[in-house]
Amino acid sequence: MLEIRDLFDLQTVDLEVDQRNARLEEIGRLLGDDRALKAARAKQTALGKQGEEIAGRQQDFDLAIATFTRRIEAAETKLYSGIVTNSRELGDLQADIGMLKRQRGEEEERLLYVLEELEQTEGELRILTTRLTAAERKWESDQACMTEERDGLQRETAELSIKRNAMASRVPPVDLVLYTQVRKRHAGHAVAIMRDGICVSCRVALPNKLASDVRAATTPVRCPSCGLIMLAE
């Protein structure tokens, strides 16, 4: 029975090592992984360029409106200066002023749409920039924490490996080979407790004779259902 208990204790250590190695593998994938930040930065750059393009259109509309305003002012000055006295010319001048004002009004309407678009873009950019700054700080903090965790796990794994090798050296080679083979087939588990004649792993009751063999065993006896090595509780 002592040998089976040795296998169970070995399994306990192996599972601890497996758990730490799995986390180390996960940390290895996460350390330096800034793809989400790069995507956010790319979006920030795109929004910035979009804002610049919209601001450029705003300047064009401002320039066009200012030009219409100067032309209107010049025409109105001419209209009310008394220089033009011919009724036909006065009518043409008034028509020109009306047309210029309509054109300026159309440009002002387009400008409003541009200003709304610019305000929305700048708002999105401010929100994204705030979130990106927070995400960068969190990423840096997470990286530091994971680096510290990795170093600790590596130390623990090294210590457990030494303990594991010492324990494995006490197991007969043939039993250790079987233990390794069973463990590979069952997600790291090779030994299961038998409690009241029932395999705790698969919940199947063992035949009485086999259950008696497990209780008296000094060499591995396997569950006929799940194939794990039985250890009587």
What value does the mean pLDDT take over residues 31-52?
97
From CA 222, how far away is CA 121, in angstroms rounded?
Answer: 68
Comparing C-alpha atoms, which of 185, 195, 142 is closest to residue 29?
142
- Model pLDDT for residues 156-213, shown as the tens digit of each residue: 999 999 999 999 999 999 999 999 999 999 999 999 999 999 999 999 999 999 999 9
Asked whether residue 1 carries a pLDDT value surpassing 90, the answer given is: no
Instruction: Quote the CA–CA distance of 102 and 95 in Å, as a whole number.
Output: 11
Q: Tell me the pLDDT tens digit for each residue of 86-120.
A: 889 889 989 999 999 999 999 999 999 999 999 99
CATH 1.10.287 corresponds to the domain 31-168: yes
- DSSP, collapsed to helix, strand or coil, labels residue 62 as helix
DSSP 99-123: HHHHHHHHHHHHHHHHHHHHHHHHH
Indicate whether 10 pLDDT > 80: yes
The candidate with the shortest Cα–Cα distance to 208, out of 194, 227, 188, is: 194
**pLDDT confidence tier of residue 2, bands split at 50, 70 and 90:** low
Enumerate the domain spans of the chain: 2-10+172-232, 31-168
Return d(Cα 183, Cα 10) in angstroms, integer: 11
